[in-house]
């Protein structure tokens, strides 16, 4: 699947450059690519700081900032998309910069995680009363012991 993306994304980017370059000209296409990268970096910085501030506020309220972490991941992916030259990745990067879209994607991920946890299909780490890590995988439990080593 990932190999297919590495093949298809450049093909779509080249097609996008050809179509847009033909419509607005090669210099305008290059300028637009540079402009979207600069605007994206600016918006990414401000959105990233807002997400960081929101996560810090949630932690100060003794709450786990799960949604903020997912938004941060979306912003990171948006940054990667905006750095990659091309109009297709810029489009998807710009979509990820829009907060309602990030919240929508975060809610989908949270709902899927809740469903997975409800059905018991989860490999999340849990701790027992002795604080020994255990990994639950279906009906099989693997226990582990550890020793703290002082440096």
pLDDT digits (tens, 9 = 90+) for 54-70: 888 888 888 888 888 88
What pLDDT band is residue 138 in, cutting at 50, 70 and 90?
A: low
CA–CA distance, 101 with 106 (Å, rounded to integer): 8
Give residue 20's pLDDT. 92
CB 79 within 8 A of CB 100: no
pTM reported for the whole predicted model: 0.65
Its domain, for residue 92, covers: 36-143
Give residue 125's pLDDT. 47
10 lies in some domain: no
Number of domains present in the structure of the chain: 1
Give residue 69's pLDDT. 84
User: Quick check: 140 pLDDT over 50?
Assistant: yes
20 lies in some domain: no
Helix H or strand E encompassing 138 = none
């Amino acid at each position: 699947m990932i190999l297919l993306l590495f093949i298809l994304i450049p093909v779509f980017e080249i097609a996008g450059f050809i179509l847009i370059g033909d419509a607005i000209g090669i210099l305008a296409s290059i300028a637009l690519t540079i402009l979207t990268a600069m605007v994206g970096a600016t918006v990414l910085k401000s959105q990233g700081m807002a997400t960081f501030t929101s996560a810090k506020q949630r932690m100060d309220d003794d709450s786990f900032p799960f949604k903020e972490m997912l938004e941060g991941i979306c912003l990171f992916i948006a940054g990667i998309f905006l750095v990659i030259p091309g109009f297709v990745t810029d489009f998807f990067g710009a979509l990820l910069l829009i907060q309602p879209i990030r919240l929508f994607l975060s809610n989908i991920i949270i709902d899927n995680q809740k469903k997975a946890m409800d059905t018991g299909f989860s490999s999340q780490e849990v701790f027992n009363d002795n604080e020994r890590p255990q990994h639950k995988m279906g009906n099989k439990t693997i226990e582990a012991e550890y020793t703290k080593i002082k440096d």
